[in-house]
Amino acid sequence: MENIFALIVAACQKALLEGKVPEEELVEQRSMIARALLSGQRYDKDLIISFLGFLKNFIFIGNKEINRKFDTLIHEITGGTIDMGIIETLKLQERRQGLLEGERKGRLEGKQEANCEFVSNLISATKFDDNRIAALAAVPVDFVRKVRSEQANKK
C-alpha cells in the first residue's frame, strides 16, 4: 500500500473486528499493516513511529506478551532503527514537544516582562496617553491600561 491513509483505513477495519476474532488474528493483521508501512520506506521515521503507536493502541491487544512480540517484530523489521517500545518512543516525542512548548512559553513570558517594564517606564517618564504608549511599545492598549492600573495600585 503506497498511501498511508489506506493503511489507516485498513487498521480501522481490523479494529472493528476486536472481540469478534481471536487476538492472534488481530496481531497478524496489525503486523501485516506494520510490514506494509515499513516495506516501502516512503515515510520518515517520526511518521512511522507515530503510525506504529496508533496501530499498537488502536488495534488493542490486551496481552502484554503479544505486545512485546510486536515491539520485537518492529525492531527486527527496521533492523534495529526503532530500538525501543513504540509507547516509550511516543512518550519521548511527547517530552520533546513539551520541552519545546516550555521554551516557547518561557520566551513569551520573558517578552511580556520586557514589554511590561518598557510600558511602565513610558508611563512613568512621559505624559503619553495609553494609545501612544501602546503604539510605541507595540502592545495592545488593554495591556498598557493593565500596567498603568498595577502601577497605581502599588502607590
Q: What is the pLDDT of residues 11-20, one digit of tens each?
A: 777 767 767 7
Gap between the Cα atoms of 139 and 64, Å rounded: 54
Instruction: Evaluate whether 38 touches 78 at the Cβ level (below 8 Å).
Output: yes
Higher-pLDDT residue of 4, 122: 122
Highest mean pLDDT among 23-27, 30-34, 125-129: 125-129
Task: Name the 3-class secondary structure at 94.
Answer: helix
pLDDT, tens digit, 9 for 90 and up, residues 87-112: 555 565 666 777 778 888 888 777 88
For the whole model, what pTM was predicted? 0.43
Q: Report yes or no: 55 and 34 within 8 Å, Cβ to Cβ.
A: yes
pLDDT in tens, 35-81: 777 776 677 777 777 777 777 766 666 777 777 777 777 777 767 66
Q: Is the pLDDT of residue 130 over 90?
A: yes
Grouping H, G, I as helix, E, B as strand and the rest as coil, residue 129 is coil
* 23 in Cβ contact with 61 (< 8 Å): yes
Confidence of residue 84 (pLDDT cuts 50, 70, 90): very low
Contact 147, 119 (CB under 8 A): yes
Q: Phi and psi for 21 in degrees, rounded to 5?
A: -130, 160
